[in-house]
Amino acid sequence: MKNKRIVVFIPKKYESYIDEEISLVKTVYGDLDEVYIVRNPNPKTYIQQDKLEALSKDPPSKLVVMDILKPSQVTNILRKVNTEVVDRVLLILEVFVLHAGSREALLQIELARIRHTLPLIKDLIRKSKIGELAGFLGPGRYGFEKYYTYLRKRESRIRRELEEISKVRKIRREKRFREGIPQIAISGYTCAGKTTLFNALTGRNMPVGPEPFTTLNPKSARIYINGVHAIVTDTVGFIRDLPPEIIEAFYATLEEVLASDIIILVVDSSKPVARIIGEIETSRKIFNEIGVQGKPIILALNKIDSIGKEDLDKIVKEVLSYYNGFAKVVPVSAAKNVNIDLLKKEIASIIKGI
Ligand SMILES: Nc1nc2c(ncn2[C@@H]2O[C@H](COP(=O)(O)OP(=O)(O)OP(=O)(O)O)[C@@H](O)[C@H]2O)c(=O)[nH]1
Ligand SMILES: [Mg+2]
């Protein structure tokens, strides 16, 4: 019953992560029909002219570009090809929608989408004013202006509602703080096994899965380990080049990381070591961007059931030579329950020292 054709363009800079980029697109659209690598993006249209020419004769149902497109590039593509253009920001937001389980998550996604769409509508209005738009975009100016006003209003309504939700969360957090219970945030790259570890530490049964961004709403649970109480919070995963619009929109989720006393940074150690280090780097960069400073970070090298002892030794060595400021480095398997007790012991000893 397949009647849609999905064409995907991936920039050369992501060639070595192509599996991850394709898995993001597949999560939303299922099977892909054509995947192209873009070596030199065209400044006006991103995609090369001859390719656009061919697509204009036989438009796909979606044209996905796994990069951040400038508004003018989107409108220039739309002037040639009658299709829906989805860039990496919109695509990641669509992945988020699939997993969003709360009103807050949905509002955050909508806000990010609006922030991403407003400059595009502005560009369309500007081009229609100077008569640059022809064909199916041509007569749209009045519609674009109305749509722009609508989006601006919707944006401020969402912001107000999100502020309310954030206040409630803050009150809850302050209550825990008053009760003196240390907060532990489980953080890290998407699919690293954060929720599996959360379940292993808390005995809960939150959904886990191989597809990116399974978890979108932070979940907290109380634990009692080695004589100390703590609250563990699972969080949304990171990805390389997370667009700034998304970082801001998900600030409420990351607030839990910012407010924590200890961070457990989970990484998937079954990946090649260069990627492990890349993921740690991305995570530390995001911690910096949201203002995390001076907190003890435990590095949990997860999925050690999938690697050999020698691989593990090599990973530990290379990770430490890249950065040795972690409070502890603990190899674990969250799924197979390996070293979870050791991790609990390390958490407890850090808490006792706070
Ligand atoms: N082999 C192995 N697989 C694991 C382990 N821990 C988690 N996984 C698998 O890794 C995948 C991702 O696990 P999740 O716990 O959903 O990962 P996450 O970091 O919460 O991912 P998002 O919420 O999507 O960001 C799942 O298929 C898990 O079964 C482990 O210790 N060993
Ligand atoms: Mg998860």
Give 286-334 as a DSSP string: HHHHHT--S--EEEEEE-GGGS-HHHHHHHHHHHHHH----SEEEE-BT
What sign does the dihedral 224-227-231-237 (CA atoms) show? negative
The residue type at 229: H
Residue nearest to atom 8 of ligand 1 (CA): 193
Which ligand 1 atom sits closest to the C-alpha of 332?
31
Ligand 1 centre to CA of 212 (Å) is 10
Q: Do domains 1-95 and 180-353 have the same CATH topology?
A: yes
Task: Flag whether pLDDT at 248 surpasses 90.
Answer: no
For the Cβ of 214 lying below 6 angstroms from any atom of ligand 1, the answer is: yes
CATH of 1-95, one of 3.40.50.11060, 3.60.20.10, 3.40.1550.10, 1.10.600.10: 3.40.50.11060
pLDDT digit string, tens, across residues 255-288: 788 889 999 999 999 999 999 999 999 899 889 9
- Domain boundaries along the sequence of the chain: 1-95, 100-169, 180-353
Ligand 1 centre to CA of 203 (Å) is 16
Q: What mean pLDDT comes out for the span 117-143?
A: 77
Pocket test for ligand 1, best of 24, 186, 191 (most atoms within 8 A of CB): 191
- Model pLDDT, residue 124: 87
CATH of domain 180-353: 3.40.50.300
pLDDT digit string, tens, across residues 174-209: 877 777 899 999 999 989 999 999 999 999 999 998
pLDDT digit string, tens, across residues 155-166: 999 999 999 988
Residue nearest to atom 14 of ligand 1 (CA): 193
Residue list, CB under 5 A from ion ligand 2: 194-195, 214-215
